Every structure is written in structure tokens, then in C-alpha cells.
Chains A and B, each alone.
Chain A
């Protein structure tokens, strides 16, 4: 019987790396999205206030 231990362990290691990278990317995406939403609100408020220069 052919020894497949190396293949299985590497498959497990790569799966963990893939899951880690995917989780990190999704967290960063959520972080960036919220950041953009708040930034756009601030820019909107500032622009509106700048429109009404007395």
C-alpha cells in the first residue's frame, strides 16, 4: 500500500491556511466597508455645511 501520510498532512495544512486567509480577507472587507460608510457620511456633512457658507 502506498504511503499517503504526507499528502494528507499537507492537505490539512493548506486547508487551514486557506481558511485563515479567507477569514482575514472577509474581516478586512467588513472593516473597510464600515470605514467607507462612516467616511462618506462625514464627507457628506462637511459638503452640506460648506454649501451654506454665510
Chain B
């Protein structure tokens, strides 16, 4: 009688503790992943810098390409002549302009985008079909990303 009770008690306590600890652990992992993402993706300051860039880009120069990549060397095609200074001052490495659903860029390996960009694309709305501007900032050796509609 007594042994049966101790066994049941241990079993119940183990089950309850396991459920609680697994639940807490998964919540913790979710939150910490979210915080890690927020460190590098869509910082508020980077969003405002992206807005500055969005206003600087000449909309008429953007064609219907699937992905436009703008670097410091090629920026004069899409922006004003002093764009190199602007991109350097804002620590901008690359600017991407997407023209299709974000999911198509993640799945298609033929499109040349780096891995950190692919990781960022996974965190934004994959069904977003409107044209987006994605800006790749570089502070130190770390890549930061922010995106807005264009």
C-alpha cells in the first residue's frame, strides 16, 4: 500500500516537473531567439536610416529586375552623385531592392545573396509581394539588416 503510494507520488511529481521545465525551456529559447534577432534585424535607428535611403533612391531608375543590388560603387545609377559619402557615413554595405515575394528569394539558390541576408529574409513576412528595400549595415564585422516597403 505504502510502496504503491510512493511510486505514484514520484511518477506524478516527475511528470509535472518535466512538463513545467520543458515548457519553461521552450519559452526561454523562443524569447532569446527573438532577442538575438532583434539585435541585428530591424533596429529602430536602422529603420530610420533605411527611410533616408528610400527617400534618396530615384524610383524611376528602378526597373523590373527581380533583385537590384546597390553598392557604394554602383549607387550613382539609382541615387544622387554624393551617395558614396552617404552610404559610408551610414555604415551601409549593400542595398537590395526586391520585386517578388520574399519566399522566392529564400528558396531560389541561383540568386546571389549572402547567408546572413538569407537568414534575415527568413524572419520577415515571406508572403510580402510588394517591392521592398533591404539595407545591409555593417558595424564592426557584424551584419545588420533593416527593410521597408518602397
Question: Which residues of A approach B to under 8 Å, CB–CB?
Answer: 14, 17, 21, 24-25, 28, 31-32, 35, 38-39, 41-42, 45-46, 49-50, 53-54
Contacts and interface: CB of A to CB of B under 8 A. Distances in A.
Interface residues of B, number: 22
Given A38-B38, A53-B150, A54-B59, 8 more contacts: A14-B13, A17-B13, A39-B34, A41-B44, A49-B48, A50-B148, A50-B149, A53-B149
B27 A28 contact: yes
A31 to B, nearest CB: 6
Given A28-B24, A54-B55, A35 B44 contact: no
Contacts of B59: 54
A28 B55 contact: no
Contacts, number: 46
Contact of B47 (A25, A39, A45): A45
A35 B54 contact: no
A21 B54 CA distance: 49
19 contacts: A17-B13, A17-B17, A21-B20, A25-B24, A28-B24, A28-B27, A28-B28, A31-B31, A32-B27, A35-B31, A35-B34, A35-B35, A39-B34, A41-B44, A42-B42, A42-B47, A49-B148, A50-B149, A54-B54
A31 B54 CA distance: 34
B100 interface: no
B38 A42 contact: yes
Interface of B: 13, 17, 20, 24, 27-28, 31, 34-35, 38, 42, 44, 47-48, 50-51, 54-55, 59, 148-150
B91 to A, nearest CB: 19
Query: 4 shortest A-B CB distances, which residue pairs?
Result: A50-B149, A35-B31, A53-B149, A49-B51
A5 B131 CA distance: 71
A28 B28 CA distance: 7
A34 to B, nearest CB: 9
